Amino acid sequence: MHVSVQAEPFDAGAELNRFTAQVAGAGAVVTFTGIVRDTAGVLSGMEIEHYPGMTERAIRAMQNEATARWALCGCLVIHRYGALRVGEPIMMVATAAPHRAAAFEAAEFLMDYLKSRAPFWKKEQAAGGSDWVAAQDADETALCRWQKD
Amino acid sequence: MIDVLYFAWVRERIGLPKERLETSAVTVRDLIAELRTREERYELAFSDLRSLRVAVDQELADFDAPLAGVQEVAFFPPMTGG
């Protein structure tokens, strides 16, 4: 398991290759990369704030939970903070497992939790000013499917 | 003494990221009530608890969480990672 909370940009391709080379016994690797998007064509960038200490701790707890639920050979989370430009990767999740179902599910589980349980806050910057991104109800709903009875 | 941290718009409304407080608050809710009486900027930040989340010693908690032995409380809006 690896966690990196960093200000620096990263190369998702290089990270994937490094991760794949390190996992033993994997038959499937799934990755997700989140990118700063500008659907309305008005953003100049994004600023991400986080809670140093708690962030790493919360992500590690998510990775532990994923490892307990699925037979994973490895799992990687990279998440940036600070100033980001449109088109740059924000974060990346990679999971490795003997078979693809576990790798896909664990990656989705980690993504759903990172969205609303890791202490990051996004602020979008445009020419007219900047605004905090509001949390979506759908993100909260997404967590329900992982809840155990 | 307890460290109180603020993030995102909570930090902006209060105007500082962190402060150290002497408090007799028993729960997080008591601490919020205490802060709200201090100045208008606190009242503004804490006026709608539904839009706030709290972490106690870096673990998500609810507003009734006890503060005995706690070193750090953080207030922030719902998280928007990923």
pLDDT at residue number B54? 98
pLDDT digits (tens, 9 = 90+) for A70-113: 999 999 999 999 999 999 999 999 999 999 999 999 999 999 99
B8 touches chain A (CB under 8 A): yes
Q: Where are the beta strands (DSSP E) in chain A?
A: 2-6, 28-35, 43-50, 74-80, 82-84, 89-97, 120-126, 129-132
* B38 token code pair: 């201090």
pLDDT at A149: 64
Q: Which residues 63-102 of A have a C-beta within 8 angstroms of B?
A: 79, 90-91
What's the pLDDT at A128?
86
pLDDT at residue A32, rounded to an integer: 98
* pLDDT recorded at residue A58: 97
Q: Identify the three-state secondary structure at position A55.
A: helix
Rounded distance, CA A12 to CA A7, Å? 15
The angle formed by the CA atoms of residues A46, A50 and A55, to the nearest 5 degrees, is 135
Nearest C-alpha neighbor of A55 from the set A122, A6, A1, A93: A6
Confidence of residue A67 (pLDDT cuts 50, 70, 90): very high
What's the ipTM?
0.95
Residues of A with Cβ-Cβ distance to B70 under 8 angstroms: none
At A10-51, the pLDDT tens digits run: 999 999 999 999 999 999 999 999 999 987 888 989 999 999
Low-confidence ranges of chain B (pLDDT < 50): none
Q: Given an 8 Å threshold on Cβ–Cβ distance, is A51 in contact with B58? A: yes
Output the pTM of the full model: 0.95
